Amino acid sequence: MKIAVYPGSFDPITYGHLDVVARAAAVFDRVIVGVLVNPHKATPALPTEERVGVIREAIDECCADDAARIDVELFDGLTVDFCRRRKATFVVRGLRAISDFESELQMAHTNRKLAPEVDTVFFMTALEHSYVSSSLVKEIATFGGDVSQMVPPAAARRLIGRGRGL
Ligand code: PNS
pLDDT one-digit tens code per residue, 122-152: 999 999 999 999 999 999 998 999 999 999 9
Is residue 54 within 8 Å of residue 162, measured between CB atoms?
no
Residues 7, 25: Cα–Cα separation, whole Å: 14
Is residue 107 within 8 Å of residue 133, measured between CB atoms?
no
Residues 96, 123: Cα–Cα separation, whole Å: 9
Residues 97, 48: Cα–Cα separation, whole Å: 27
pLDDT in tens, 92-130: 999 999 999 999 999 999 999 999 999 999 999 999 999
Q: Average pLDDT, stretch 74-85?
A: 98
97 CA distance to ligand 1 centroid (A)? Answer: 18
78 lines ligand 1 (CB under 6 A): yes
Q: Average pLDDT, stretch 152-157?
A: 95
Of all protein residues, the one whose alpha carbon is nearest to atom 4 of ligand 1 is 8
Of all protein residues, the one whose alpha carbon is nearest to atom 10 of ligand 1 is 8
The reported pLDDT for the residue numbered 39 is 72
Active-site residue numbers? Answer: 17, 41, 96, 134
13 lines ligand 1 (CB under 6 A): no
The reported pLDDT for the residue numbered 163 is 59
Cα–Cα distance list, 159 to 28, 36, 84, 148 (Å): 31, 19, 33, 10
